[in-house]
């Protein structure tokens, strides 16, 4: 289910140095709507950052991490949903294995401004 607050965007996410600290193949969750639950996560793959809604397409709106920031497999090659093991390509969000094969995560566009602030815009 799309988050109405993110959909309205732009919405402040963090400072760019927080994204710079995300290692290759790992992710970090954020709570830009201040709901007490991370609704967005950012993953670094092949040196690039990608932002996705923390909502699995298998069960609409299901959060994906089994603990804070645990969105990728051990090798860091795929995003994994902890509920039923669906695996997603980090760059495209497409499910390549699991119960929602062929479906995709919802992308969120990030805007990194000259002052170092990072803002979200819904796709
Ligand atoms: S809720 Fe994500 S794989 Fe089932």
pLDDT in tens, 10-52: 899 999 999 999 999 999 999 999 999 999 999 999 999 999 9
**Among 57, 86, 105, which is best to mutate for testing ligand 1, by the most ligand atoms less than 8 A from CB?**
86
Nearest protein Cα to ligand 1, atom 3:
84
Q: What is the pLDDT of residues 42-78, one digit of tens each?
A: 999 999 999 999 999 999 889 999 999 999 999 999 9
Task: Name all domains of the chain by residue range, CATH numbers in brackets.
Answer: 4-122 (2.102.10.10)
pTM, rounded to two decimals: 0.92
Regarding the beta carbon of 99 and ligand 1, being less than 6 Å apart is answered yes
Q: In what order do the strands lie in the sheet with 27-30?
A: 11-15, 117-122, 107-112, 48-53, 40-45, 27-30
């Amino acid at each position: 289910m799309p988050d109405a607050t993110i959909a309205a965007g732009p919405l402040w996410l963090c400072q760019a140095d927080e994204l710079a600290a995300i290692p290759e193949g790992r992710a970090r969750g954020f709570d830009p709507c201040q709901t007490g639950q991370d609704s967005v996560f950012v993953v670094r793959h092949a040196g690039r950052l990608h932002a996705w809604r923390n909502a699995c397409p298998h069960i609409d709106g299901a959060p994906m991490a089994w603990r804070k920031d645990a969105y990728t497999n051990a090798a860091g090659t795929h995003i994994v949903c902890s509920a039923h093991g669906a695996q997603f390509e980090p760059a495209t969000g497409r499910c390549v294995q699991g119960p929602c094969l062929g479906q995709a995560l919802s992308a969120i566009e990030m805007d990194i401004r000259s002052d170092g602030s990072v803002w979200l815009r819904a796709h």
